[in-house]
């Protein structure tokens, strides 16, 4: 690992010494998501964690999907961007059982 870092450092020093122009590309900024703290009783948290583990997903991802689905069931329309994101998440993890 150290050798690789040294090689990169050497390459950067050579470029700097030669005066080569280097294009720096910054990653596109994603829309930041807000954080919501929830208080769950131990049994609910345990069930959430067990279910998430059974579908090989993180509990936070499952909780987010459950909240979105609950909003949809109550007639609260989500933006097309959020609906597309939900669809992508479901397509990435096809092992999930249908709801």
Alpha carbon of residue 42 to chain centroid: 25
Task: At 97, give phi and psi (nearest 5°).
Answer: -70, 150
* pLDDT for 22: 62
Structure tokens at 87: 């669809």
* pLDDT for 62: 92
Q: Parse the chain into domains and list their residue ranges.
A: 38-94
Host H or E run for residue 4:
helix 2-18
Regions of the chain short of the pLDDT cut 70: 1-5, 20-31, 93-99
* pLDDT for 83: 72
* pLDDT for 14: 76
Q: What angle do CA 43, 45, 48 make, to 5 degrees?
A: 110
* pLDDT for 60: 93
DSSP 79: P
* pLDDT for 99: 47
């Amino acid at each position: 690992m150290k050798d690789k870092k040294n090689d990169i450092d050497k390459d950067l020093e050579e470029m700097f010494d030669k005066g080569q122009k280097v294009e720096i590309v910054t990653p596109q900024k994603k829309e930041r998501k807000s954080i919501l703290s929830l208080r769950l009783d131990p049994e609910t948290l345990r069930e959430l964690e067990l279910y998430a583990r059974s579908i090989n997903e993180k509990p936070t991802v499952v909780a987010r999907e459950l909240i979105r689905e609950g909003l949809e069931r109550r007639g609260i329309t989500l933006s097309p961007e959020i609906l597309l994101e939900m669809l992508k998440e479901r397509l990435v993890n096809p092992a999930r059982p249908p709801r």
